[in-house]
Amino acid sequence: MADAAPKLRLATWNVNSIRTRLPRVVDWLSRADVDVLAMQETKCSDGQFPTLPLFELGYEVAHVGFNQWNGVAIASRVGLEDVQIGFEGQPTWSSKPDVAATAEARALGATCAGIRVWSLYVPNGRALGDPHYTYKLEWLAALRDTASGWLRDDPAAQIALVGDWNIAPTDEDVWSPEFYAGATHVSAPERRAFNDIVDAQFADVVRPFAPGPGVYTYWDYTQLRFPKRQGMRIDFILASPALAGRVTDAQIIRDERKGKAPSDHAPVFVDIRRE
């Protein structure tokens, strides 16, 4: 018999442009009984974000976006409090020597029904040896240090670090380790950086319910990667100890990668027992 206990459903989805993907997001939310949705790669400014359709579904929305790049959001129908743009110590970035480095729109926190949710879009890294790769590792190290501090201050804190991590932590998280050899997302430093956050007591609470190999969250648009099942698992929900103990189920919704104009990522959700 299915668990009838009251639950909160927390999801994450790299939507790869909310304005392009809005009909799909609205359709999925109307069917999926999601209480909180963290979105990444919204690719719009705050003024361009389509808040009204989500509001009409009963969601409050927080968003940070500066231009057509990056962008993160949280939509919640169970409250949206203490919104924070960026985490303490978040590194800055500039792609041009003559432009001052600033914090990108890659991290947004809010408290939803007592859970501190962080929508995270980890830097891509681009290529081994690229300055953006160094930035990625520094970004992850800063997140680890800050998140560790949250748990030192309050070991019972209910925290969810969710989003597109741009890292496949194990070989089973890619369709071909040989294909990705020498590339980002699978390098030893990136995997160590991800595992450092896990070691800081933020558990991957999806994998126990959706084990691999062959279970992915991202498929490139090119080379028929999706129908060939040639994907990567790079979208994760990491939970603090107090929150991890409340997770009762998790799913990767692969079917949302199908159909007309999909994102190249699938949504991922966990069900959390309400207290």
Which of 59, 121, 135, 216 is catalytic? The answer is 121
Query: What are the C-alpha distances in Å from 179 to residues 45, 65, 126, 176, 183?
Result: 35, 33, 16, 5, 9
Residues 83-122 have pLDDT tens digits of 999 999 999 999 888 889 999 999 999 999 999 999 999 9
Which H or E run contains 13? strand 7-14
The answer to whether residue 164 is catalytic is: yes
Answer yes or no: is 124 a known binding residue.
Answer: no
Q: What is the pLDDT of residue 4?
A: 64
Q: What is the pLDDT of residue 1?
A: 39
Q: How confident is the model at residue 2 (pLDDT cuts 50, 70, 90)?
A: very low
Answer yes or no: is 132 a known binding residue.
Answer: no
Answer yes or no: is 82 a known binding residue.
Answer: no
The answer to whether residue 265 is catalytic is: yes
Which residue, 121, 194, 110, 158, is CA-closest to 270? 158
Residues 15-54 have pLDDT tens digits of 999 999 999 999 999 999 999 999 999 999 999 999 999 9
Answer yes or no: is 14 a known binding residue.
Answer: yes
Q: What is the pLDDT of residue 96?
A: 85
Q: What is the secondary structure of 72-123 as a DSSP string? A: EEEEESS--EEEEES-TTPPPB-SSTTS--B--S-EEEEEETTEEEEEEE--
Whether residue 5 has pLDDT greater than 90: no
Answer yes or no: is 249 a known binding residue.
Answer: no
Whether residue 194 has pLDDT greater than 90: yes
Which of 35, 164, 204, 235 is catalytic? The answer is 164
Which of 133, 185, 265, 271 is catalytic? The answer is 265
Q: Measured between alpha carbons, how far is 107 from 95 in angstroms, rounded to an integer?
A: 19
